[in-house]
Structure formats: C-alpha cells, structure tokens
C-alpha cells in the first residue's frame, strides 16, 4: 500500500525522468549528464515505491524517518547545484561583459550597428 506522499514522489520522479530524456533527445544535455540525472530520478523512484530495503539507513544516519533522509540528501544536492550554477553564471557574466565591451571598442564611431537590439 503506497501513501500519498510516496505516490507524489514517484510521479515527480517519472515526470523528471521523462523531461531528462526529452532534453537528451533535443541535445540540451549530453549522454553522461543525462545518465547522471536519470540515476537521481531512478533513485528517488526506488526509495518512494520500495522504501523497506532502505530503512536500515535510517538508523545509520540517526534520522527519524526515511523521508527525512531523502529530504536532507535533496537539500545537500540542491546546495551543490546552486553553488555550481552560481560559479557558472559568474563566469559567463564575466565573459559576456568582456565580449560586449570589446565589440563596443572595436565598433566605436563606425556608425549604426548592423544588428537589431537583442533586448525585448
């Protein structure tokens, strides 16, 4: 018998696994990144549908319920992803600024730009 929260988590894992597959087919993700994410969603699906084999970890990690352990793991994963995104965005931001300024200096005084404004 599955509880509501288990059904919700399983459905979420399935939707996300499908999304990952879609992004792999579109070429947004490469094979290894897609595989990594599919493993994450498969793990979530497994823990949601078959929690019993994982109950032994509850005692090992000194948490009250398996759900707490999953939530803690998810928070740690989120923190790691946020940090990685922060670094990537800063790096991209710096490169973009350098490019925009270099283009401006190279085109200085050369008349109107040939391209349209990319901003909405």
Site for another protein in 63-102 (CB under 8 A): 96-97, 100-101
Residue 57 and residue 66 in contact, taking contact as beta carbons nearer than 8 Å: yes
For tokens 């990144």, the residue is 33
Closest distance of CB 23 from another protein, Å: 26
Q: How many CB atoms lie within 10 A of CB 21?
A: 15
User: Are the C-beta atoms of 29 and 20 separated by less than 8 Å?
Assistant: yes
Calpha distance 55→69 (Å, rounded): 10
Quote the least distance from Cβ 11 to another protein, whole Å: 40
With binding defined as CB under 8 A, does residue 8 bind another protein?
no
Quick check: 113 binds another protein (CB under 8 A)? Answer: yes
Under rule CB under 8 A, residue 119 binds another protein: yes
Q: Between residues 78 and 103, which has the closer beta carbon with respect to another protein? A: 103
Distances (CA, A) of 96 to 55, 88, 103, 117: 49, 12, 11, 16
Q: Does 114 bind another protein (CB under 8 A)?
A: no
- Does the protein bind another protein through residue 115 (CB under 8 A)? yes
Closest CB to another protein among residues 65, 86: 86
CB within 8 Å of 18: residues ≥ 6 apart: none
Where on the chain is the footprint of another protein (CB under 8 A)? 96-97, 100-101, 103-105, 107-109, 111-113, 115, 117-119
């Amino acid at each position: 018998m599955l509880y509501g929260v288990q059904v919700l988590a399983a459905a979420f894992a399935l939707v996300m696994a499908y999304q990952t597959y879609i992004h792999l087919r579109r070429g947004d993700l490469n094979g290894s990144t897609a595989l990594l994410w599919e493993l994450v969603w498969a793990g979530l699906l497994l823990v949601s549908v078959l929690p019993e084999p994982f109950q032994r970890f509850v005692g090992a990690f000194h948490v009250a319920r398996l759900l707490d352990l999953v939530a803690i793991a998810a928070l740690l994963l989120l923190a790691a992803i946020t940090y990685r995104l922060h670094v990537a965005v800063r790096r991209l931001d710096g490169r973009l600024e350098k490019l925009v300024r270099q283009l401006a200096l190279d085109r200085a005084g050369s008349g109107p730009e040939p391209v349209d404004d990319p901003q909405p």
